[in-house]
């Protein structure tokens, strides 16, 4: 998936978090949309330790109560699932 970098908030996690290259965590919530995109990729996709990027797109309404309160546990469970998918999917083109 190739989306313009200007559409993302990018954060590079510290080297050693998952591999020697670090990670890039990107998120996108388009204006007037409830669909949130979160992706995790290697900071150096050509590295031998890089893994296949993963992402999910989900409606933010699934993380809030009817009163508009964020249910953090549900959100973090989805984030943890994404991280688990990233660490479990070895890069196929090594």
**pTM tops 0.75, yes or no:** no
The strands making up 54-59's β-sheet, listed across from edge to edge, are 9-12, 23-28, 35-42, 54-59
Q: Which residues contact 19 (CB under 8 A, 6 or more apart)?
A: 42, 47, 49, 50, 51
**Tens-place pLDDT, residues 41-91:** 988 888 888 889 999 999 999 999 999 999 999 999 999 999 889 888 444
pLDDT at 93: 44
The CA distance from 88 to 74, in Å, is 21
Work out the average pLDDT over 27-35. 96
Q: How far apart are CA 80 and CA 76, in angstroms?
A: 6
Helices (H), 1-94: 72-88
pLDDT at 34 over 90: yes
């Amino acid at each position: 998936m190739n989306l313009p970098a200007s559409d993302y908030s990018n954060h590079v996690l510290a080297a050693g978090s998952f591999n020697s290259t670090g990670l890039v965590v990107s998120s996108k919530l388009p204006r007037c949309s409830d669909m949130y995109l979160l992706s995790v990729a290697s900071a150096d996709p050509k590295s031998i330790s890089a893994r296949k990027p993963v992402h999910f797109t989900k409606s933010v309404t699934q993380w809030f109560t009817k009163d508009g309160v964020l249910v953090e546990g549900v959100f973090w469970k989805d984030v943890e699932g994404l991280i688990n998918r990233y660490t479990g999917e070895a890069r196929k083109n090594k």
